[in-house]
Copies of this chain bind each other. A is one copy, B any other.
Amino acid sequence: MSSLKYAILGTGALGGFYGAKLQKAGHEVHFLLNSDYEKVSQDGLLIQSKDGDFTLPQVNAYNDVKKMPACDVVVVALKTTNNHLLPQLLPPVVKDHGTVLLLQNGLGIETEVSQIVNNVTVIGGLCFLCSNKILPGHIHHLDYGQITLGEYAANYQPAGITDKMRKIAEDFETAGIEIELTEDLLLGRWKKLVWNIPYNGLSVILDATTDELMANLYTRTLVRELMLEVKLGAKSTGREIPDSFIQTMLEYTVKMKPYRTSMKIDFDESRPLEVEAIVGNPLRIAAANDFSLPLIRGLYQQLKFLDERNRN
């Protein structure tokens, strides 16, 4: 086990879960909280998990990043809709030559973060996790939990498997979190969008769960056509997603339990939607490479309308 010191920015369903697992395994972890600060600094964290429940009666809780120690690995577990805060949040808490680990959805966020902090490694993490925050400090882990890690290099050039990735992977694995390493973060992010763009988008627009979208002939076809446009977007950046991967995603979703997507949950709770990171950035990156993705663009315009109305 390494002696890496961890910070968790955003102690919700995702950050609270992974941070608690790391602390339970013996790592030093510092948690940034916002509305749950009082409760968690008093009572700690309660993780109710399919892998076994546990409590951490005492955690290092903060409501101000300036009070936190500089850490080796700063885990960003905020929704991307809060990323405008990162220029204030990151510099005080990340060590020189440290690492920012972005456990977020979407595309292009590593580029933004690499412009905020210097002398810092940026690693992207793609999480496959079903968990909810039930109450302040009380997280319910329903299923999955594995993370795919990939290091960011300028312009998303494939960075290979680095020592920093290996060290972090080891820490997470000793905490019982399954890790996969990828040499090509951009390809990994596009592959995740194959699922995220159609299901997140259509679930909000059509007020539908994944099983409803797959049971109807028309939306099942539309999902597939949106996936093929994501493949085209990947191609615009020189990445190849095989058709067999799309087929696998479709079959996997048919077999899944009926699922309300994260964007639908945000929408239902009147929270801002991660439209820009998940849909807008891929569109802009493809457009910069002279690829148009008309179906995804239509989806984006519909989501922007619904998101703006939902917050008024």
Contacts and interface: CB of A to CB of B under 8 A. Distances in A.
Interface of A: 202, 205-206, 208, 212-213, 216-219, 221-222, 225, 294-295, 298-302, 304-306, 308-309
A219 B294 contact: no
A118 to B, nearest CB: 36
B301 A212 contact: no
B301 A208 contact: no
Contacts of A219: 301-302, 304-305
A212 B301 CA distance: 13
Given A205-B206, A306-B206, A298 B295 contact: yes
A267 to B, nearest CB: 13
Given A205-B205, A206-B205, A306-B206, A218 B295 contact: no
Contacts of A217: 304
26 contacts: A202-B302, A205-B205, A205-B206, A205-B302, A206-B302, A206-B305, A208-B305, A212-B309, A216-B304, A216-B305, A216-B309, A218-B300, A218-B301, A218-B302, A218-B305, A219-B302, A222-B298, A222-B301, A222-B302, A225-B298, A294-B294, A294-B295, A294-B298, A295-B295, A295-B298, A298-B299
Contacts of A308: 216, 218
Contact of A221 (B208, B213, B225, B301): B301
- Report copies per complex: 2
Contacts of A222: 298, 301-302
A225 B294 CA distance: 10
Contacts of A299: 298
A218 B300 CA distance: 8
Nearest to A217: B304
A295 B294 CA distance: 7
Contacts of A306: 206
A113 B213 CA distance: 35
A298 B301 contact: no
A295 B301 CA distance: 11
Residue picked from A202, A208, A305, A309, most chain B C-beta under 10 Å: A305
Given A202-B302, A218-B302, A298-B299, 18 more contacts: A205-B206, A206-B305, A208-B305, A212-B309, A216-B305, A216-B308, A216-B309, A217-B304, A218-B300, A218-B305, A218-B308, A219-B301, A222-B301, A222-B302, A225-B298, A294-B294, A295-B298, A298-B298
Contacts of A302: 202, 205-206, 218-219, 222
A302 B201 CA distance: 12
Residue picked from A202, A218, A219, A308, most chain B C-beta under 10 Å: A218
